Amino acid sequence: MFTELLKKRRSVRKYSSGPLAEDQIRIITEAALLSPSSRNIRPWEFILVRDPDTLRYLSRAKEGAKMIADAALAIVILGDTEKSDVWVEDCSIVASNILLAVTDIGLGACWVQIRNRFHSGTERAGDYVSARLGVPERFEVEAVIAVGRPEEKRPPLGESDMDWSKVHQERFSA
Ligand SMILES: Cc1cc2nc3c(=O)[nH]c(=O)nc-3n(C[C@H](O)[C@H](O)[C@H](O)COP(=O)(O)O)c2cc1C
């Protein structure tokens, strides 16, 4: 059931070694490509990274990216800034769909935020990533999704994760 999948999805940051199967990568990539987008423009491109050296490079993109070094796969999500002014929203849906597809097939993943983050004092994390991967200038790196076989077990989300006070009826109520 869909709600069960939503509860099962947790950020997984520890992975066991070994490659993913091609059909697993296919399922995950399909989830990305099947995402909805504003005016159906699909202003995205994806780079699938499996090379250990490149994974290590990406893991140094910014704080909170270390787990990429041990991932079997990193999916770099690029937004085409010239095709759409809402590429951020579109690419965020892609990232969310990837996380859910990964969970559905028993793998683990973590969203690593790149957009609006810095590699160092002055270098943008997106520029750091793009330099290595040959990304043309009009693209922004939205996020990198680290994917692997989970080596940690996270409890599913439950009742305590749902803050019903954030849900208003008809009008905003304090
Ligand atoms: C937009 C966004 C950016 C995130 N960026 C990072 C990140 O850079 N590094 C990281 O370890 N986790 C990142 N996360 C994962 C969140 O920390 C995580 O989703 C949150 O703590 C809730 O935990 P859960 O995913 O296990 O339910 C990000 C999640 C989202 C939605």
The CATH number that domain 2-151 falls under is 3.40.109.10
- Tell me how crowded residue 125 is: count the other CB atoms within 10 A of its CB: 24
Domain definitions of the chain by residue range: 2-151
Number of residues that this document lists for the chain:
174
- Tell me how crowded residue 110 is: count the other CB atoms within 10 A of its CB: 23
Give me the pLDDT at residue 163, please. 98
Q: Which two tokens stand for residue 131?
A: 């330099």
Residue nearest to atom 31 of ligand 1 (CA): 111
Give me the pLDDT at residue 27, please. 98
Give me the pLDDT at residue 174, please. 78
Cβ < 6 Å from ligand 1: which residues?
Answer: 10-11, 13, 64, 110-113, 154
Q: How many Å apart are CA 92 and CA 118, to the nearest integer?
A: 19
- Tell me how crowded residue 142 is: count the other CB atoms within 10 A of its CB: 24
Residue nearest to atom 3 of ligand 1 (CA): 113
Ligand 1 centroid distance, CA of 99 (Å)? 11
Q: Which residues of the chain have pLDDT under 70?
A: none
Give me the pLDDT at residue 88, please. 98
Which atom of ligand 1 sits closest to the CA of residue 154? 26
CA 54 to the chain's CA centroid: 17
Q: Which two tokens stand for residue 84?
A: 């759409």
Ligand 1 centroid distance, CA of 8 (Å)? 15
